[in-house]
Amino acid sequence: MSGGALAVVIVAVVIGSITKGVTGSGLPTVAIPVMAGFIGVEAAVVLMAFPTVVTNSWLLWEHRGHARNARHLKRMLVAGAAGSVAGVWLLTTLPGNVLSLALAVVIFGYAALKLWRPEVALPERAARLLSPPVGFAGGVAQGATGIAGPLTATYVHGFRLEPGAYVFTIAAQFQLFAAVQVATFVALGRYTGELVLGSLLSLIPVVLFLPVGIRLGRRLDRHRFERVVLVVLVVMGTKLLFDGLNG
């Protein structure tokens, strides 16, 4: 990798780390597409799996006091674990452009609904029924692409949680997805010495800039926080749409 390419990757990790600190998602979504252009999709997914575990551990600890306010988390975690294993198996065969387009449609549909009816919230009965299949789908997306944020964050955003509870909820899901992903990669022998070194080096900008995002996130009230999350989701959706149409 050339010096210029390495600089681009580092910038992507920095931006993703700040976004992750504010909203609980964004690191893999920003970093993996950039890395994939230089080292390939599979290598990028494998490389970012371990840093994702580290960032989610950090956020879970920071927002541990909000664990009691999480909604339907156990339902999503159980289904998500199975989905993560299935996603890793599909990593080399799943049509990435189809998944990207499907997620983009979900995100833009939700964003349009929020703009039309800003106070809309997911009814309790619907959340109880939808949480397991959404958790499974998020696990599949994480295992296959390393990016579960658009689907999971969009769904949980509909719960209208306080910022700390929102971040804790999605970080817990991402943590499970990433942990299963790393374990499966190890079992399949996907980690090479070069990828292990790359994972460790990527932690440097993560450790430096994730706290910046956490501090920014704490300064936002719920309404401003929701607007920031919605903007991040739309950016994610735009990137997924572009990837899907050009895949």
Contact in structure between 87 and 140 (CB atoms under 8 Å)? yes
| pLDDT one-digit tens code per residue, 119-170 | 656 667 777 777 888 888 888 877 776 677 667 777 787 777 788 888 898 8
Look at residue 117 and tell me whether its pLDDT is greater than 70. no
Which is nearest to 157 in space by CA: 211, 111, 215, 99? 111
Contact in structure between 172 and 70 (CB atoms under 8 Å)? yes
pLDDT (0 to 100) of residue 102: 64
Look at residue 206 and tell me whether its pLDDT is greater than 80. yes
pLDDT, average across residues 79-98 = 71
| pLDDT one-digit tens code per residue, 52-88 | 889 989 999 988 888 887 777 777 888 888 887 777 7
| pLDDT one-digit tens code per residue, 226-235 | 677 677 767 7
| Separation between Cα atoms, residue 235 and residue 174, nearest integer Å | 19
What domain range includes position 58? 3-245
Q: Which two tokens stand for residue 232?
A: 């991040």
H-assigned helices in the chain: 3-23, 27-39, 41-62, 73-89, 96-116, 124-145, 149-157, 163-188, 193-218, 222-245
pLDDT (0 to 100) of residue 52: 87
Domain count, the chain: 1
Confidence label for 89 from pLDDT (cuts 50, 70 and 90):
confident
